């Protein structure tokens, strides 16, 4: 049971060990993506965190309707 909960994390670790380790360490150190040293390095790597946040907040800002049959 415990092993089945760790399986997705272990698969990501095997697929992309550097990215997984970087994300894990930044989570432990509670680094923010918008702070200067990290944001500059991410921009050099081709990652733009501002584009991802704008699209999700625009979709979640208005109420959505659901139909229950």
* pLDDT (mean) for 36-45: 78
The tokens of 5 are what?
Answer: 């909960």
Under 8 Å between Cβ of 39 and 49: yes
Question: What range does the domain containing 13 cover?
Answer: 7-56
* pLDDT (mean) for 50-54: 51
Give the total number of structural domains in the chain: 1
In a domain, 2, yes or no: no
Under 8 Å between Cβ of 38 and 26: yes
Please spell the DSSP secondary structure of 41-54, one letter per residue. Answer: HHHHHT--HHHHHH
Please work out, in degrees rounded to the nearest 5, the angle formed at the alpha carbon of residue 4 by the alpha carbons of 25 and 30.
15
In a domain, 30, yes or no: yes
pLDDT digits (tens, 9 = 90+) for 4-26: 888 888 888 888 888 778 778 88
In a domain, 52, yes or no: yes
Q: Give pTM, 2 decimals.
A: 0.42
């Amino acid at each position: 049971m415990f092993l089945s909960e760790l399986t997705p994390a272990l698969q990501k670790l095997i697929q992309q060990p550097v990215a997984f380790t970087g994300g894990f360490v930044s989570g432990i150190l509670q680094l923010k993506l918008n702070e200067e040293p990290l944001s500059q390095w991410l921009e050099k790597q081709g990652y733009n965190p501002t584009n991802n946040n704008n699209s999700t907040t625009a979709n979640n800002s208005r109420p959505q309707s659901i139909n229950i049959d």
